[in-house]
Amino acid sequence: VEDNRVKLPNGIGLVKFRKSQDIIGTIKNVTISKKSGHWYVSFGCERELGEKPVHPATSAIGLDMGITKLLTTSNGTYIKPKNSFKANQLKLAKLQRQLSKKVTFSQNWKKHNRKIQKLHSHIANIRHDYLHKVTTSISKNHAMIACEDLKVANMSKSAGGSAAQHGRNVKAKSGLNKSILDQGWGMMVDMLEYKQQWRGGLLIKVNPRYTSQTCFECKHIAKDNRQTQAKFECVKC
């Protein structure tokens, strides 16, 4: 790297790039990628820390992830979701219908396909930006964070079933899957994990099994403990 230029192999030579931040440490690998017509370069660097970071905060917080509320914290506050896909769903569907009427791989088809790719990128960028702001705020203010270790891939599987055995409530499950993926739970937990490591904090992933049915006082587990999502009343104590 020379100032705002990077030297690429295979005879490409020096290419200008916009340096978003200083490159600290030894560059170990470089990734060149293309996304929605734009080129990106990212540097993987290694540097040795003089001492282990110590988190400035001393508090702990528990997080519960949801759909109508992105996060509900153990201190009673909640954070609203952004729902970037839901906000752009009609626009995306309209563009996809228009694309289906064009001759595949024609110039008009390619031009229209680029519009769809750009919208997909826009939706992802909104989600990414919002999750960064939320996780940075939580990580800065709490030394220990506990959250459920959710298997998002399993939770968002299709309920369509097979040709021999059709699924049930397929439309409702499809809508739920879209909502789950729109929140970006997996991405959010990953962000919290590395931001806590940077600051010297701790992230604890809790097994989600029976967490909504367990009494926190007597530890009794029963389905009847939670009559509704909002109300919990232990049948034993």
Give residue-wise pLDDT tens across range 104-117.
Answer: 999 999 999 999 99
Q: Are residues 28 and 119 in the same domain?
A: no
Q: What is the pTM (predicted TM-score) of this model? A: 0.83
Q: What residues make up the domain containing 79?
A: 60-206
Read off the pLDDT of each residue in 98-125 and give the average, rounded to a whole number.
Answer: 95
Exposure string for 191-217, b = 16+ CB within 10 A, e = fewer: bbbebbeebebebeeeeeeeeeebbee
Does residue 42 sit within a domain? yes
**pLDDT over threshold 60, residue 223:** yes
The C-alpha angle with vertex 162 and arms to 157 and 167, in degrees rounded to 5, equals: 60
Q: Judge contact between 67 and 179, C-beta under 8 A.
A: yes
Does residue 36 sit within a domain? yes
Number of domains within the chain = 3
Does residue 52 sit within a domain? no
Q: Are residues 112 and 189 in the same domain?
A: yes
Q: Which residues contact 24 (CB under 8 A, 6 or more apart)?
A: 45, 47
Q: Are residues 129 and 159 in the same domain?
A: yes
Q: Are residues 98 and 145 in the same domain?
A: yes
Q: Are residues 74 and 184 in the same domain?
A: yes
Q: Can you tell me which residue has the tokens 């790297």?
A: 1
Q: Are residues 152 and 217 in the same domain?
A: no
pLDDT band at 39 (very low <50, low <70, confident <90, very high): very high
Q: Which residues contact 196 (CB under 8 A, 6 or more apart)?
A: 55, 139, 145, 202, 203
